[in-house]
């Protein structure tokens, strides 16, 4: 028997390691198109961009670990085709490999802007170490950066850029920040924090195209006739799943590869994990695609358990974090079907939590510099216990007693 994992990112690297932890003794091949061993992407927009971290600090495991664990790690190698009938895959080198079990962990890629002028030099995206290196080279005092998209990646880059002295404008089509992923209390809070740090926001804007000078972007042209001068544009408008291989192989896909609670695809011998997947979320009676490290790790555990014949792991509650300036945001759960929102603490004090409830039960918690609220929210999410909203809002009652 042999297992092949396509995609040597957070999810793929974790499946390989967990298989060995579970005692899986058969050959494992881990194939990644990037030149690096599996590494963590979250620091790319945070510590790494500010030069606070060395490359080895990004790696999931030391470089030598894979050979020591008997894992054949092939970097700079792209898988171009899967033949499910023959149970083989073809590499960009034309080599063919046979598998018994296949794990797809090809992640997602940054969504690109296609507008007049978006082929000029000076367009930046942030998904890989190489992207982050390119961005770093630009950030200097006085440098003018236009960030398109007020989501997590855009805001984290804006914070890092300000720290390095760059001039930052953020352009957002919606009328608030983090519109797709967080509630209005959080949007207003982060707007005020960024503005206090000198970031300028432009809400409700439509971009018509870009101006250039000697082949390099020099400005963003707005549909309302306005023009914003800049030296580079960071595009942070979300990510799309790398599900092309799976589609071409005939696996069921719907905004990502559709998997079950064991991370199994519509082919029994093929699993899929991480940003690539459209997964069930029983807590909310829905399926959806998530992009987070905890999600990649949870699905890696599911796939590794199924492949190595271990019991199915207990489901985790979805969670996420973001660091901007000295603010630690932690989010647990997803704000579906919310009928009441309770804020505990005062955002002006830069330490507060927003609880999203449905019928008295926590659906999600957004906590800023408030780990006890985050931890309690996560526990309540898992236990489905009802909470008293009045006591929850009362900061004189310690979290443990709420
Ligand atoms: P990836 O890490 O993207 O790995 C997929 C790998 O597969 C890539 O290396 C890709 O090149 C490779 N690949 C694709 N196609 C092929 C092919 N055909 N052949 C071979 N290899 C292939 N999450 C958080 O929880 N908290 C955060 O603060 C946070 N910050 C983030 C900041 C940034 C800048 C980014 C980009 C992401 C951040 N995330 C964060 C999200 C998190 O990093 C992802 O959810 C996680 O990396 C998903 O892991 P993955 O293995 O599914 O995908």
Q: How far is the CA of 60 from the centre of ligand 1 (A)?
A: 12
Task: Please name the residue whose Cα sits nearest to atom 24 of ligand 1.
Answer: 292
Which residue's entry shows tokens 């709420």? Answer: 402
Q: Percentages helix, strand, coil for the chain, rounded to the nearest 5?
A: 25, 30, 40
Residues having CB within 6 Å of any atom of ligand 1: 6-12, 31-34, 41-42, 44-45, 78-79, 105-108, 126-127, 153, 242, 245, 274-276, 291-294, 296, 320-322
Specify the ligand 1 atom closest to the Cα of 274.
Answer: 52
For the cut 90, the answer to whether the pLDDT of residue 50 exceeds it is no
> Can you read off the two tokens belonging to residue 311?
């019991």
| Best CATH choice for the domain 3-109+239-308 from the list 3.50.50.60, 1.10.1140.10, 1.10.10.10, 1.20.1440.230 | 3.50.50.60
Q: Report the run of H or E that residue 300 belongs to, with start and end.
A: helix 293-307
Do 122 and 145 contact (CB within 8 A), yes or no? no
The pTM score is 0.96
Whether 326-401 and 3-109+239-308 are alike in CATH topology: the answer is no
Q: If you measure from the C-alpha of residue 272 to the centroid of ligand 1, how many angstroms do you get, rounded to a whole number?
A: 13
Segment 326-350, tens digit of pLDDT: 999 999 999 999 999 999 999 999 9
Report CA(42)–ligand 1 centroid distance (Å): 9
Q: Any idea where the domains of the chain sit in the sequence?
A: 3-109+239-308, 112-235, 326-401
Segment among 134-143, 278-287, 374-383 with least mean pLDDT: 134-143
CATH of 326-401, one of 3.40.1000.10, 3.30.390.30, 3.40.50.10300, 3.30.930.10: 3.30.390.30
- Choosing from 4, 16, 35, 41 the residue with most ligand 1 atoms within 8 A of its CB, the one to mutate for a pocket test is 41
Q: Could you give the CA distance from residue 301 to residue 191 in angstroms, rounded to a whole number?
A: 37
The dihedral through the CA atoms of 87, 91, 96, 100 has a sign that is negative
Q: Show the CA angle centred on residue 204, arms to residues 199 and 206, nearest 5°.
A: 100
Q: Which atom of ligand 1 is nearest to the CA of 9?
A: 4
d(CA 316, CA 298): 7
pLDDT tens across 154-164, in order? 999 999 999 98
Report whether pLDDT(55) > 90.
no
Residue among 292, 295, 301, 318 to mutate when testing ligand 1 (max atoms within 8 A of CB): 292
State which CATH number among 3.30.565.10, 3.30.70.3270, 3.50.50.60, 3.90.550.10 fits the domain covering 112-235: 3.50.50.60
**pLDDT-based confidence at residue 41 (cuts at 50, 70, 90):** very high
């Amino acid at each position: 028997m042999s297992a092949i994992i396509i995609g040597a990112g957070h999810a793929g690297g974790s499946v390989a390691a967990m298989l060995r932890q579970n005692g899986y003794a058969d050959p494992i091949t881990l194939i990644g198109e990037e030149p690096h061993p599996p590494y963590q992407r979250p620091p790319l927009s945070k510590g790494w961009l500010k030069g606070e971290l060395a490359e080895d600090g990004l790696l999931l495991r030391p470089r030598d670990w894979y050979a020591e664990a008997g894992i054949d790690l092939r970097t700079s190698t792209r898988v171009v085709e899967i033949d499910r009938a023959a149970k083989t895959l073809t590499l960009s080198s034309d080599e063919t490999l046979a598998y018994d079990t296949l794990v797809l962990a090809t992640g997602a890629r940054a969504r690109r802007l296609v507008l007049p002028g978006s082929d000029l030099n000076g367009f930046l995206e942030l998904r890989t170490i190489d992207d982050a290196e390119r961005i770093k080279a630009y950030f200097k005092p006085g440098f003018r950066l236009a960030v398109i998209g007020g989501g997590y990646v855009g805001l984290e880059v804006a914070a890092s850029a300000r720290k390095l002295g760059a001039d930052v404008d953020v352009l957002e089509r919606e009328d608030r920040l983090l519109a797709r992923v967080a509630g209005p209390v959080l949007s207003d809070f982060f707007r005020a924090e960024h503005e206090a740090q000198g970031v300028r926001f432009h809400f409700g804007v439509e971009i018509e195209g870009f101006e250039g000078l000697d082949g390099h972007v020099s400005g963003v042209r707005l549909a309302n006739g306005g023009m914003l001068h800049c030296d580079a544009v960071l595009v942070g408008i979300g990510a799309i799943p790398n599900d092309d291989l799976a589609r071409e192989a005939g696996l069921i896909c719907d905004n990502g590869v559709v998997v079950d609670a064991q991370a199994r695809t519509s082919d029994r011998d093929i699993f899929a994990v991480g940003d690539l997947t459209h997964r069930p979320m029983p807590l909310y009676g829905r399926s959806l695609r998530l992009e987070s490290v905890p999600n990649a790790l949870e699905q890696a555990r599911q796939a590794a358990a199924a492949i190595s014949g271990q019991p199915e792991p207990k489901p985790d509650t979805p969670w996420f974090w973001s660091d901007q300036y000295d603010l630690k945001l932690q989010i647990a759960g997803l704000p579906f079907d919310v009928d009441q929102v309770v804020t505990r603490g005062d955002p002006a004090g830069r330490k507060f939590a927003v609880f999203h409830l449905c019928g008295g039960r926590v659906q999600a918690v957004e906590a800023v510099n408030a780990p006890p609220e985050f931890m309690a929210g996560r526990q309540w999410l898992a236990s489905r216990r009802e909470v008293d909203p009045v006591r929850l809002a009362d900061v004189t009652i310690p979290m443990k007693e709420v």
